[in-house]
Amino acid sequence: MRIARKAGLQGVRFHDVRHTHATLMLQQGIHPKIVQERLGHATIAVTLDTYSHVLPGMQEAAALRFEEGLHTTTR
């Protein structure tokens, strides 16, 4: 990949960049449907199955956000 070499990224495959892009989007809270569409996966199930390793941390973050929402709505 000439572009990667020019950027000083020897040994980085296009697939690695694609995987990193998807993982970062999910970690940033981008809806999985958007990630699916950007990657061109046929179904959201493919995306979620492929990137399920990202989801455990997202579960904790979701629980914290939900708890914060409860505190703001009960005041």
Helix-helix angle 55-73:14-27, to 10 degrees? 20
H/E stretch holding 62: helix 55-73
DSSP-derived 3-state class of residue 28 = coil
Number of compact structural domains in the chain: 1
**Amino acid at site 61:** A
Which residue has 């809806």 as its token pair? Answer: 31
Contacts of 26 (CB under 8 A, 6+ apart): 32, 35, 51, 54, 55, 58
- For 14-23, write each residue's pLDDT tens digit: 888 899 999 9
What is the domain extent for residue 14? 2-73
pLDDT tens digits, residue range 23-73? 999 888 899 999 999 999 999 999 999 988 877 777 788 888 899 999 886
pTM of the model: 0.67
